[in-house]
Homo-oligomer: A and B are copies of this chain.
Amino acid sequence: MTKVKEWPFGITPDNYPEFMGRSSEHTTRKGKDMAGYFQGTPEPEKVIYEVYEAETTGHICMALTILKPGKVGKEYHMTKGHYHEDQEAGEIYVCLKGKGIIIMQTKDGLNGEIELEPGAVASIPPKWAHRTVNVGKKDFVMLAIYPATSGHDYGSIEKSGFLKRVIEEKGKPRIF
């Protein structure tokens, strides 16, 4: 991972594409990369989300996620979601654009969610898996801030999934 330019910079709901230019890790998740995550089967070439990652300091990383609007069947577009490998690492999300829900859970079976609109911040404690769901009609754009030691454990989610899903019912998102 390359460091962002060592100069202070601001990120606003309008200029965030500039951040992408400072990041070096770019991941695109298409439907075919997310087989088994949704109840239905996503179109293989449809882009579900993109992540731009950058190390901002020796200790903290930042990632910009752009989660495209849409559904697979009645299920809203979402990220894969992950636990952290480092059990002491939490994560902080800042919503820049759009309307989303963070779905969270622990391995002990606790679960919860936080709604995110522009200007809102979510604090996810260590040991809580987290997944982002776009329940709006436009791109959901957020900035994730996490310790450089975090690491990603996608395997646990790939095996057992999340306890809850966000499904459209009568035109509105509902958590089941």
Q: Which residues of A contact B (CB under 8 A)?
A: 4, 6-13, 56-60, 62, 86, 88-90, 92, 94, 96, 102, 104, 112, 114-126, 128, 130, 143, 145-147, 149
Contact A56 B89 (CB under 8 A): no
Chain copies in the assembly? 2
Evaluate contact between B124 and A8: CB separation under 8 angstroms: yes
**Cα distance A60–B90 in the bound complex, in angstroms:** 8
- Docked Cα-Cα span, A92 to B55, in Å, equals 12
A15 to chain B, nearest CB (A): 9
Expressed in whole angstroms, the minimum distance between the Cβ of A58 and any Cβ of chain B is 3
Determine if A9 and B59 form an interchain contact, defined as CB atoms under 8 angstroms apart. no
A119–B92 touching, CB < 8 Å: no
* Neighbouring B residues of A114 by C-beta, 8 Å: 8-10
**Chain B residues, Cβ within 8 Å of A118:** 119
